[in-house]
Amino acid sequence: METWEGKHFSITDPKNVNTVIYQINKTQKEFLENSPKYTVERLDFTEEIRGEMKRKTFYMNNPSQDHDQLLILSFAKERVVVNMALLQNDKITMSKKPIPLKFDSIYSEQEQEIKDFKYTPNLKRPICIIDPETTEEIEPTLYFDEKTNEVKGKCKLKPYKSYFTFEIKDKKDD
Amino acid sequence: MISQVFDRNDQIRFMNTAMDEKGKCVRVDAKLAMKGHEVEAFLDQFGAQFPIKVESHKVVNNKNEAYMLVDGKKIPLDKEKADKSQKAQERKGLLNSQKGIDRD
């Protein structure tokens, strides 16, 4: 049996707001050749309904000894608030200025058809795509393209709908 | 410190992704997606949630199952995810190996 210490904390989501949290992991030097510099890990959570609010407890099962960085995304109808935080010494310090984004929606009442969004994944540059309505990640299906001799990815995206995507990078890597 | 890793749009790049009417994937830069007064109104909804208190729990990874022990309650974990966390914890030197019968 292997055991270790995890961390957990709770936040309350107001009505019609759905928060998801990612832990940002910096890849150790010895693995950098084949891995991206940063990877993200979505935190599991349990939730408890309190009137019109939801109290969510997030579990971090791979904490570091000193500190960990978190990306907090609060989705609401057509909007998301991006918050950054630092977990250190059993407390979470939030960034003072969250970044609010509004989706430039091209919503339509017309019948929708799911279309494939094809791309060539760069394993050194992972990009996370989230459906803001469900807050679920859109996972790509990987396939081998014999014509180009490359592994390619296919995501099913609905037309006339907004998705939220992000990647973690260093300023100097641009 | 947080500012060393995060620097707003410079370090976390986020985009609105949408499909246009021809089915082409469109990415909209975050800065372009912000809209003045609506943004402020939305921020009001998120006041006074912080600071956040962090507590500890035990993570157990057995051969056949993985779980967390939170306030005496056993919460099951995805085994594959727990194996991955175990490897990472091992690399960080934070793992406690226990031989014998699992009593939890």
pLDDT digits (tens, 9 = 90+) for B15-43: 444 444 454 444 443 333 333 323 333 33
Q: What is the pLDDT of residues A125-164, one digit of tens each?
A: 677 888 888 999 888 777 788 888 877 777 777 766 677 8
Share of chain A above pLDDT 90, in %: 21
Main-chain dihedrals φ then ψ at residue B90, nearest 5 degrees: -65, -45
Q: Is A100 touching B (CB cutoff 8 A)?
A: yes
Cα dihedral: B64, B68, B69, B74 (round 10): -60
26-55 of B, contacting A, C-beta below 8 A: 27-28, 30, 32-35, 38-39, 42-43, 45-46, 49-55
Q: What is the pLDDT of residues A94-122, one digit of tens each?
A: 766 666 666 654 444 555 555 566 655 56
- B14 found inside a domain: yes
| CA B34/CA A103 separation, integer angstroms | 8
| d(C-alpha A145, C-alpha A160), whole Å | 28
Distance (Å) of CA A12 to CA A46, A74, A94, A166? 12, 11, 15, 24
What is the C-alpha separation between B27 and B25, in angstroms, rounded?
Answer: 7
Residue A45, classed as helix, strand or coil, is strand
Q: Which residues in chain A have Cβ-Cβ distances shorter than 8 Å to B32?
A: 104
pLDDT number for residue A4: 95
So what's the pLDDT on residue A111? 55
Q: Return the residue in B50, B52, B70 with the most chain A beta carbons within 10 A, the one to mutate for interface testing.
A: B52
Residues B7, B39: one domain? Answer: yes
Chain B residues whose beta carbon lies within 8 Å of the beta carbon of residue A165: 14-17, 27
**Number of domains, chain B:** 2
Where along chain A do its domains lie?
7-168
Domain containing B33: what range?
2-44
Does residue A172 come out as left (phi exceeding 0), alpha (psi in the -120 to 50 range) or beta?
alpha
What are A18's strand-pairing partners?
A75
Please report whether residue B49 resides in a domain.
no
Total residue length of chain A: 174
- Looking at the predicted complex, does its ipTM rise above 0.90? no
Give domain status of residue B96, yes or no. no
Residue B65 lies in a domain: yes
Q: Pick A103's closest partner by Cβ from B19, B33, B51.
A: B33
Q: Do residues B64 and B40 share a domain?
A: no
